[in-house]
Amino acid sequence: MEATYDVVVIGGGAAGLSGALALSRARRKVLVIDSGQPRNAPAQGVHVLLGHEGVSPRELLARGRAEVTGYGGEVVAGAVTAAERLPGGRFRVTLGDGSSVEASRLLVATGLADELPKVAGLAERWGREVLHCPYCHGWEVRDQAIGIVGTGPLAVHQALLWRQWSDKVTLFLHTAPEPGEEEREQLAARGVTVVEGEVSEIVMDGDRLGGVRLADGREVPCQALAVGTVLNARTEGLAGLGLETATQEMAGHVIGTYIPADPMGKTSVPGVWVAGNVSNVMDQVISASAAGVRAGAAINADLIAEEARDAAAALRAATAAGPAGDGPAGPAAQAGSGSATGSGGGTAAEPGSGAVTEAEFWDARYSESERIWSGNPNVVLVREVSDLPPGRALDLGCGEGGDAIWLAGRGWRVTAVDISAVALERAARHAGEAGVPDGIDWQRHDLGTSFPDGSYDLVSACYLHSPHDMPRERILRRAAAAVAPGGVLLVAGHAGWPSWQHDHPEVHFPTPREVLDSLEPAEGEWEVLRAEEFERSQNDPEGRPTTRTDNVLMLRRRR
C-alpha cells in the first residue's frame, strides 16, 4: 500500500469494486479499502445478476478483487477510522491500524446496515430464513409458509408482494398499524392470513426456522420470515468529510437514510462520489455495480478535466516563466531552461472539482518529465556573479537546482528554496551527481507565506514568475531585507512575451526601475550595479533559435 493515489475507494462490495475496476482500466492509481463485512454475507447466493445467478457473495467479491488487481488496482483489508479533506483539495484516509493514505478523489461505497425488528432470535437467522427482498430470495422460498413481520404502514404492501411467490402467506401485524377496510379486503381476496399481536421470538425446529411465538404465547408455524428493516447508510469514520445524510421515505414512512448525490454519484463535497446502497437504499447487486461504474467514469472524467487545466497552465508557465539557459533539455523544456521558479502564494481558483494549490500546480509541472530545464545555470547569473567572492547565497525559486549547483561548485554556501517538493528532490539528486551535495541546504517554502531565515551575501531571484497570483513585490522586499551589508541582490525577469506567443495586454512585466521602486529602498541604502534590458538566445517550441528580451536589476547594500 503506497501513500498517494488518484482515487481511494472506501468499501469493497459490488459498487466499490465495480468503480475501482472502471478506474483501474482507465489506468488510474486506485486503492480499495474493504472492512470485510458485506451486507449480504449470510446469504447463500446472489440473484438477479445476469451471468452470475446464484453465485455466493464471497465468491463474487473474490472474483471482483482479482479483476481489480489484475488491472493494477490495490485492495487492502481494513476499517476506515477517519477521513478528511486537506488544504488544496486532496484527502487523507486513516485506517484502524493507524496507517493513512492520500488521494485526489474519494469513492464512498460503504453500503448500508439493516436495523432489524427487536424480536428474539431474529438476527441469528438473518440471511437464512429471515429475508428482506423477494426479488433476491423469493424463488428460494417459493410455495413455503412465509410470515411477514409488520413494522410500519408498508406491511400490507409487503404481504401482497410476497404472495407472488407463495399462497401460504401470513401477515403478523406486530407493530404495524391496523389495516384499513380496503386493505383487509385485498388481503382476504389474495388468501393472506392476518394475525393480531406482537411477535416476541422465533421458534426453531432443529436447525431451521419452525415458526414464531407471539407475546400472548401463541405459536404460528412458518418456514420463512420477511421483515422490513430500517436501512441506514454506513458512514462510520467519514464525519470529517462533511457528508450529510437524508431520510428515505416510502408512502410517508421513513425506511432508511442515504447520502444524496447527482445521477453520477457526485456529492455536495467536492471530490467525493458515492455509489451503491450508501446512496440508494433500493439498489440490488446489479444496480449497485452499475452505479459504481458510473461513478468511476465520472471520477475519471473529473480528473481528466483537472489534468487538462493544469497541463495548459503548466504550458503557459513554461512559456511565460522559462528562464535563460543553454538550450532546452527536451520537449517539456521548449520555453527555456535553467533554474525554474516555483514559488508564490495563493490558491488557484477552482473551476470545477477542486482547488489546485500553487504547490500542487508546480509539483504537477515537474512531474511531467524527468527534466524540465537544461540543468545549466541562468546566463544572467553567470555573467553578473562570476567575479564575486563566494559567501552565503540564497537562491529563490531554485527549481531543479541549476543555479544553486553552479554556485556551490564555485564555493558558495547555498540555501536553495522552492515550493515544489518534486523539484527539490530532483535538485538534491542533481547536486549529488555534480559532487556538491553538502554545499546546498534545500528548503521548501511558499514564499508568499514563509521565508528562509538568515542574511546572505547574495540573494538571487531569477525569473520569479508564476501563472497563478503571486505577491512578487512582497517577496522581493523580503529578499532585499535578507541581503547582508555589502551583499548583492540580483533580480532577473522577462521584459515581455516571446515572439511565438500572443501578447496578453493585461499582464505587465515590470521594468528594472519599477522593481527598484517596489523595494521601497531607503535613501542611500543601495548602490545600483546594473539596471537594464538585454537580449538572450532561446529556442522556440519547434526548436528554432530565436531571441528574447529580459531585464536585470543588480543592487549592492551599502555597508
Q: What is the pLDDT of residues 9-60, one digit of tens each?
A: 999 999 999 999 999 999 999 999 998 877 766 777 788 888 888 788 888 8
Look at domain 321-557 and name its CATH class.
alpha beta
d(CA 336, CA 330): 10
Determine the average pLDDT of the residues in 503-518.
81
Residue 349: pLDDT above 80? Answer: no
Model confidence band, residue 490 (pLDDT cutoffs 50, 70, 90): very high
Question: Do 4-112+231-306 and 117-228 share a fold?
Answer: yes
pLDDT for position 114: 85
**Proportion of the chain above pLDDT 70, given as a percent:** 89
pLDDT for position 465: 80
Domain assignments of the chain as residue spans, ordered by start: 4-112+231-306, 117-228, 321-557
3 state SS of 434: coil
pLDDT for position 470: 77
* Fold adopted by 117-228: FAD/NAD(P)-binding domain (3.50.50)
pLDDT for position 343: 35
pLDDT, averaged across the chain? 86
Model confidence pLDDT, tens digit, residues 351-407: 333 456 778 888 888 888 888 877 889 989 999 999 999 999 999 999 999 999 999
pLDDT for position 502: 62
Determine the average pLDDT of the residues in 301-327.
67
Determine the average pLDDT of the residues in 290-304.
96
The CATH code of domain 4-112+231-306 reads: 3.50.50.60
Distances (CA, A) of 270 to 50, 130, 484: 34, 40, 47
Residue 314: pLDDT above 70? Answer: no
Model confidence band, residue 91 (pLDDT cutoffs 50, 70, 90): very high
Model confidence band, residue 318 (pLDDT cutoffs 50, 70, 90): low
Q: What is the pTM of this model?
A: 0.59
pLDDT for position 143: 96
C-alpha cell at 95: 485506517
Model confidence band, residue 334 (pLDDT cutoffs 50, 70, 90): very low
d(CA 39, CA 136): 13
C-alpha cell at 430: 542533481
253 Cβ partners below 8 Å, 6+ apart? 152, 153, 154
pLDDT for position 374: 77
Q: Where are the alpha helices (DSSP H) in 389-545?
A: 402-409, 421-433, 472-481, 512-518
